[in-house]
Structure 1
């Protein structure tokens, strides 16, 4: 299956817009915010700043982000090797940390974010 075409990009854009709308909703924002956040990072090659909504799980100062369909996405590759800086909006507050991407033996990709103090 080939990803990255115009239809796929429009679908992803629509999903992201919907996720952001839910997060900022007065009615559902607090509930959705427990499971969805927006990550902001700088591209390693482009130097541009990007933001995208993602699902997450938090345990203390560690945040885990599973990357669905990782071969169809590039953003997580900014965090391979030693990882890289990232910011997340958690409970209405911008938090920064170091994110490291890991691909397991079943080709699942998880970003582990260690939040800064």
Structure 2
């Protein structure tokens, strides 16, 4: 899994602050949430901002970083989602390109700002380029959480 940092650390720090401030969070909380989990080995609590897509009680996100290994079945995580603290559990965690590609394509159609993170560009009709989405799908892990 690639470890290249596309989103600078300073940006993550700013997002963590913005998402905790009641009036400011509205600007970005439709696209970014705070995910709080406990490290498997360290027992340390981490909070990170992540981009997500929501369908009902299911939240889907993509990452190329190792934090996702800390999400274990039935172990709840805490989310700050649209200003509310909620609990969720792991539903799905995969690196399967065939499963990731169509979901990432839909995510990028709805969240075009994430295209830069995944190094995907858009064609003349405004759709993400399929070959680039497939390449990006090979570099990420797809995670689905269920709200509880």
Q: How does 1:1-117 map to 2 (within 5 A)?
A: 3=3, 12-23=8-19, 24=21, 26=23, 29-67=25-63, 70=64, 73-79=65-71, 82=73, 84-99=75-90, 100-105=92-97, 106-116=138-148
Change (3 A) 1:98 1:18: same
Change (3 A) 1:110 1:83: farther
Deviation at 1:78, TM superposition (A): 1.1
Deviation >4 Å, runs of 4+ = none
- Structure 2: give runs of 5+ residues left out of the alignment: 98-137
RMSD, aligned α-carbons: 2.4
TM-score (norm 2): 0.60
Change (3 A) 1:60 1:84: same
Of 84-93 and 49-58, more deviation after overlay is shown by 84-93
Report the number of matched residues: 104
Considering fraction of residues, name the structure with more helix: 2
Deviation at 1:90, TM superposition (A): 1.4
Considering fraction of residues, name the structure with more strand: 1
Distance in 1 between the 2:59 and 2:33 partners?
Answer: 11
Partner-residue secondary structure (3-state), 1:84? coil
Tell me, yes or no, if the aligned pair for 2:29 and 2:81 is still in contact at 8 Å.
Answer: yes
- Structure 1: give runs of 5+ residues left out of the alignment: none
Distance in 1 between the 2:40 and 2:17 partners?
Answer: 28
TM-score (norm 1): 0.74
- Structure with larger Rg: 2
Tell me, yes or no, if the aligned pair for 2:33 and 2:80 is still in contact at 8 Å.
Answer: yes
